[in-house]
Structures are given as structure tokens and as C-alpha cells.
């Protein structure tokens, strides 16, 4: 029998993580204070699995096994005997602290205590533990059963054994694991910021409208969705909150400055698809506006956003957030970028990337455009990321 896994919080992420663990053959206990939420999670799982049967991906027996392996409970006492608990409750440090303190009383010495937090520090979450070498970040992407990437984040307290067994276990669930430092936004939510931020800035300067910027990124960049379509999917409330939290956590580094346009959309309740209107109108009968398909303009927009993304990916290498391989893997597997940003930089030529950033920096005189020192060094030494 495989190890028992505990998942705390049966919301969007917790329910998905419980499904992943059960599909990999683990007995799972899914705990939520809200019993309605537990029932909802159970009903949603049944629907999802029925769809998988229709598609011929699983059999009726497998569906029953996956369902039967999950126990739904409202008391964390049911976690007893688990070898790993993944916490996926509300993103609030004070509440997570309380929860981690009590978790330690119901599990054994060797149980790993992980958080799925997107924006809080793992070191801080683990600070309330008596045995703090067992804390770790295990960050899934939404929807957890479909997105292949998982960021594993050791905190300063995390023991090597905790890290190694977490990586091994999550890999055994068929996930692509990247290991990254306990820094704001980890890899994906840090490196991806300019995809939204620079697109919003280009719009605010009046260079192009939403549809044209989206067209530039899909047409020239091969991105599956343009930034405004994607923000409308994610929700402007959720996306703005991540940007603001990364900005604050980086001590207000201007590179991560949030945008008034997005803030106003959020304030107006233009949250995106879920509210019927975001940057685009999704109400019945409405038509998404057509882009201005001006090749030169489109290339300029795409290039400006791309070099800003590359600069951010290079900064993550420079600050040892993760290996260059993991940074490229994270962006292709976590947010479906068509290519890793560092490989893209090699192909464009690091000298050209630096030239574009220097032109932006010179024109605007703003810190957000400053080229990363590692990029400058590599150009000087005639180096590339991948041979
Ligand atoms: N939604 C995403 O796209 C996403 C992606 C990656 C990580 N995350 C992170 O995952 C975590 C959960 O996010 P979500 O979107 O699934 O939230 P959610 O609001 O959908 O679910 C949270 C669940 O936790 C339950 N809960 C709250 N306090 C609890 C407690 N003390 N004990 C037991 N259950 C409790 C709530 O009843 C709710 O069902 C957050 O830390 C978030 O930052 C979210």
C-alpha cells in the first residue's frame, strides 16, 4: 500500500491535488472545515472522472478506485498516519500559522508538512513548527490534474531528506518538478510578470489596443493566448493580487509595479470571463474587437514584451532562484510558453536582447528597463545559455 497523503482545503487547488494523489494510487484524506465544500469536491470529482471514462482514458473500475481512495473529513485528526500533508487553504499567513501549529500535533515525527501557497514565504509558514526541517513548498498550478508543473520550494529550515523525498514523490505522480528558492513568486509567478505588466504599459502609453497587443503575442510569439485574453481568464482580481504581492515582497522594485488600468478594471468589477466583462465584453451577442494587423507595430510590441520576459528569466538565473534548465521548464510546463525564455534569448542573440533593453532604458530612463548584469556579462564574454 502506498503512503497516506493528507490534503487540507477542498477548494480549487486542494480538490485537484487530492485527485492527483489518488490517481497515483495513494490513500488520501481531504479535510475542509466547510462540509459543503467537501460535498462539492466529491461531486466535481465524480463528474471529472465520468468525463475521463467517456474519453476512454480510465475505466469504470478505475473511477471507483480513485473515488474510494479519498476520505472526506472535517477534522484534521483524520490526517493521523499520513506521510505528507499538503495545505491548500486560504492565502492568509496568520491562518496558515495556526493550521501548521495544530497539524504538528496530529501527525508523526516524519510527516512532511507542505504548503501550496502562491505568494507567502515558506520560511515564515514553517517558523511555527517545533520540527521545522519538515516544512516545504509544493506549488501546483491550476488545474492541478492537468498542469504538469510543480514547483518544489525548500525554505531555509528545510532538511535535505524532506526536499529529496518530496521531489521523488511528486515525480512519481507524473509531474515535472522544478526546485526553486523561497523567493517571491517562486519561478513562474516572478518571471511571467512582464507578460502582463509590459502589455498593460504598452496599452497605457496608447501604442496599441488590447486586441492588437494580444494579436502581436499570439501571431509573432506563438503564445497560446495574448496577455489580455489570459488576464480575463485568470481574473483581474486574482492576477492583480499576485502582481501587488510580488511588488510588495520585492520591496517595491519598480520592475514589478502594478498597473492602474488593471486596478481600475478590478475596481469596476470587470474581472474577466467570470464576471462577463474584463478587457473584453463576453456578454451574449458581443463581438471581440479585431486587431490592427500592422506587421511593424506587432513585431515591436512582441519584441518589447519578450525582451522584458527574458530579462526577468535572466534575473532568476542571476539570483540563483533555480537552474537555467528548470527556469525554462517552468515557463513551458507551468504557463505553456512556446519556448523557454533562456533558449529564446540564445536564439535571438543575447547581444540583440541587450541592445533592445538598453534602448528602452535610454528612452524611458526607468529602472524597470535596466538590463540584468548577467546579460551584460554574458554578452561581454560572448557566452550563451545552452550549447
Ligand atoms: N487558485 C489558484 O489558481 C492557485 C494556484 C496555485 C496555488 N494556489 C494557492 O493554493 C491555496 C488555496 O487556493 P484555492 O484557490 O484552492 O482556494 P479556495 O478558496 O478555492 O479553497 C480554499 C479552501 O480552504 C478551506 N479552508 C479555509 N480555511 C481552512 C481551515 N482553517 N481548515 C480547513 N479548511 C479551510 C475553505 O473552506 C476552502 O474550501 C492558496 O494558498 C493559494 O495561494 C492557488
pLDDT in tens, 245-301: 999 999 999 999 999 999 999 999 999 999 999 999 999 999 999 999 999 999 999
Q: Which structural domain range is residue 207 located in?
A: 190-380
List of the chain residues with pLDDT < 70: none
Ligand 1 atom having least distance to the Cα of 89: 24
Strand 112-115, strand 135-140: pairing: parallel
Beta 176-179 vs 70-73: how paired, if at all? unpaired
Domain membership flag for residue 66: yes
Examine the domain organization and report whether 318 and 341 are in the same domain. Answer: yes
Name the domain count of the chain.
2
In a domain, 386, yes or no: no
Residue 65: C-alpha distances to residues 4, 69, 89, 171 (Å): 15, 6, 26, 21
Q: Dihedral of CA 198/201/207/213: which sign?
A: positive
Residue 385 maps to a domain: no
Determine the distance separating the centroid of ligand 1 and the alpha carbon of 11, expressed in angstroms. 5
Between CA 365 and CA 359 the distance in angstroms is: 10
Quick check: helix, strand or coil at residue 21? helix
pLDDT of amino acid 305:
98
- Same domain, yes or no, for 257 and 198? yes
User: Residue 146 burial by CB count (10 A; 0-12/13-18/19+): exposed, middle or buried?
Assistant: exposed
In a shared domain, residues 171 and 194: no
Of 26, 82, 132, 151, the active-site residue reads 151
Residues with CB under 6 A from ligand 1: 8-14, 31-34, 37, 88-91, 95, 99, 116-118, 140, 142
Position 279 scores a pLDDT of 98
Q: Which of 6, 8, 12 to mutate to test the pocket of ligand 1 (most atoms within 8 A of CB)?
A: 12
Shortest-distance Cα residue to atom 15 of ligand 1: 12
Residue 148 shares a structural domain with residue 284? no
Strands (E), the chain: 5-8, 28-31, 70-73, 84-87, 112-115, 135-140, 149-153, 176-179
Q: Mark whether 20 and 161 lie in a shared domain.
A: yes
Looking at the domain assignment, is residue 184 inside a domain? no
Q: How many Cβ atoms are within 10 Å of 384's Cβ, its own excluded? A: 14
CB–CB of 376/361 below 8 Å? no
179, 204, 230 - which closes a domain? 179
On whether residue 156 sits in a domain, the answer given is: yes
Taking the alpha carbons of 143, 146, 148, 150 in that order, is the dihedral positive or negative? positive
Q: Which pLDDT score is estimated for 1?
A: 84
The one catalytic residue in 26, 139, 239, 372 is 139
Q: Output the nine-digit C-alpha cell for 166.
A: 518530496
Residue 231 CA to ligand 1 centre (angstroms): 20
Assess whether 164 carries a catalytic annotation.
no
* Atom of ligand 1 at shortest range from CA of 91: 41
- Whose Cα sits closest to atom 10 in ligand 1? 88
d(CA 80, CA 83): 9
CA distances 51 to 46, 47, 59, 325, Å, are 9, 6, 11, 35
* Contact in structure between 136 and 166 (CB atoms under 8 Å): yes
Take atom 21 of ligand 1 and give the residue whose Cα is closest. 11
Residues 352, 225 share a domain:
yes
Whether residues 154 and 263 fall in one domain:
no
**Annotation says 67 is catalytic:** no
Same-domain pairing of 105 and 252 = no
Handedness of CA 37, 41, 47, 48 (dihedral sign): positive
Note whether 264 and 366 are same-domain residues: yes
Would you say residue 334 lies in a domain?
yes
Which ligand 1 atom minimizes the distance to the CA of 115?
Answer: 41
Q: Which of 136, 153, 179 is the last residue of a domain?
A: 179
- Those residues with Cβ within 8 angstroms of residue 206's Cβ, 6 or more apart along the chain or in another chain: none
* Nearest partner of 378 among 339, 327, 330, 342, judged by Cα: 342
Is pTM beyond 0.85 here?
A: yes
Ligand 1, residues 90, 128, 147: which to mutate, most atoms within 8 A of Cβ? Answer: 90
Query: In the prediction, which pLDDT does 65 show?
Result: 98
Let me know if 68 is a catalytic residue. Answer: no
CA 198 / ligand 1 centre spacing (Å): 29
Q: DSSP for 182-246?
A: S-TTTTHHHHTHHHHHHHHHHHHTTS--HHHHHHHHHHTT--SS-HHHHHHHH-HHHHHHHHHHH
Which of 148, 179, 210 delimits the end of a domain? 179
Active site residue 352: no
CATH of the domain at 280: 1.10.1040.50
Which H or E element spans position 348? helix 341-348
Same domain, 83 and 129: yes
Residue 185 domain-assigned (yes or no): no
Number of other residues whose CB lies within 10 A of the CB of residue 107: 20
Q: Which of 6, 7, 8, 13 to mutate to test the pocket of ligand 1 (most atoms within 8 A of CB)?
A: 13
Q: Which residues of 60-89 are buried (b: 16+ CB within 10 A; e: fewer)?
A: eeebeebeebbebbeebebbeebbbbbbbb
- Please tell me whether residues 139 and 227 are part of one structural domain: no
pLDDT tens digits along 62-119: 999 999 999 999 999 999 999 999 999 999 999 999 999 999 999 999 999 999 999 8
Atom of ligand 1 nearest to the CA of 118: 43
Please pick, among 116, 118, 119, 311, the residue that the annotation labels catalytic. Answer: 118
- Identify the CATH number of the domain in which residue 62 sits: 3.40.50.720
Marked catalytic residue, from 22, 115, 132, 189: 189
Domain identity same for 113 and 262: no
Q: How far is CA 45 from the centre of its chain?
A: 22
User: Can you give the pLDDT at residue 274?
Assistant: 93
Burial 195-209 (b: 16+ CB within 10 A, else e): bbbbbbbbbeeeebb
**Is residue 61 a part of any domain in this protein?**
yes
Calculate how far, in angstroms, residue 12's C-alpha sits from the geometric centre of ligand 1.
7
Say what the pLDDT of residue 119 is: 87
Amino acid at each position: 500500500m502506498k503512503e497516506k497523503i493528507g490534503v487540507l482545503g477542498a477548494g480549487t487547488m486542494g480538490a485537484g491535488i487530492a485527485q492527483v494523489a489518488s490517481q497515483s494510487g495513494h490513500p488520501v484524506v481531504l479535510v475542509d472545515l466547510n462540509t459543503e465544500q467537501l460535498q462539492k469536491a466529491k461531486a466535481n470529482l465524480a463528474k471529472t472522472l465520468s468525463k475521463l471514462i467517456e474519453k476512454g482514458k480510465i475505466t469504470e473500475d478505475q473511477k471507483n478506485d480513485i473515488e474510494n481512495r479519498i476520505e472526506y473529513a472535517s477534522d484534521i485528526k483524520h490526517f493521523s498516519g499520513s506521510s505528507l500533508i499538503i495545505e491548500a487553504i486560504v492565502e492568509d499567513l496568520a491562518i496558515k500559522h495556526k493550521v501548521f501549529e495544530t497539524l504538528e500535533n496530529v501527525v508523526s515525527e516524519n510527516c512532511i508538512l507542505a504548503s501550496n501557497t502562491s505568494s507567502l514565504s515558506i520560511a515564515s509558514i514553517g517558523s511555527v513548527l517545533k520540527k521545522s526541517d519538515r516544512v516545504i513548498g509544493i506549488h501546483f498550478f491550476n488545474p492541478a490534474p492537468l498542469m504538469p508543473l510543480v514547483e518544489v520550494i525548500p525554505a531555509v529550515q528545510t532538511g535535505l531528506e524532506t526536499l529529496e523525498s518530496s521531489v521523488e514523490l511528486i515525480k512519481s505522480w507524473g509531474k515535472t518538478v522544478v526546485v526553486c528558492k523561497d523567493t517571491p513568486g517562486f519561478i513562474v509567478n516572478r518571471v511571467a510578470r512582464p507578460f502582463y505588466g509590459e502589455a498593460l504599459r504598452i496599452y497605457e502609453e496608447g501604442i496599441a489596443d488590447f486586441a492588437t497587443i494580444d494579436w502581436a503575442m499570439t501571431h509573432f510569439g506563438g503564445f497560446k493566448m495574448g496577455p489580455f485574453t489570459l488576464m480575463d481568464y485568470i481574473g483581474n482580481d486574482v492576477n492583480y493580487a499576485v502582481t501587488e504581492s510580488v511588488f510588495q515582497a520585492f520591496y517595491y522594485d519598480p520592475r514589478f509595479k502594478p498597473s492602474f488600468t488593471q486596478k481600475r478594471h478590478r475596481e469596476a468589477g470587470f474581472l474577466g470571463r467570470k464576471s462577463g466583462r474584463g478587457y473584453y465584453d463576453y456578454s451574449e451577442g458581443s463581438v471581440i474587437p479585431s486587431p490592427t494587423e500592422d506587421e511593424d507595430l506587432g513585431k515591436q510590441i512582441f519584441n518589447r514584451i519578450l525582451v522584458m520576459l527574458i530579462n526577468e528569466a535572466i534575473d532568476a538565473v542571476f539570483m540563483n532562484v533555480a537552474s537555467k534548465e528548470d527556469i525554462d521548464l517552468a515557463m513551458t510546463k507551468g504557463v505553456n510558453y512556446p519556448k523557454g525564455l533562456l533558449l529564446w534569448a540564445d536564439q535571438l542573440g543575447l547581444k540583440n536582447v541587450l541592445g533592445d533593453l538598453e534602448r528602452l532604458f535610454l528612452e524611458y530612463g526607468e529602472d524597470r528597463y535596466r538590463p540584468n548584469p548577467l546579460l551584460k556579462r554574458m554578452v561581454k564574454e560572448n557566452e550563451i545559455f545552452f550549447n
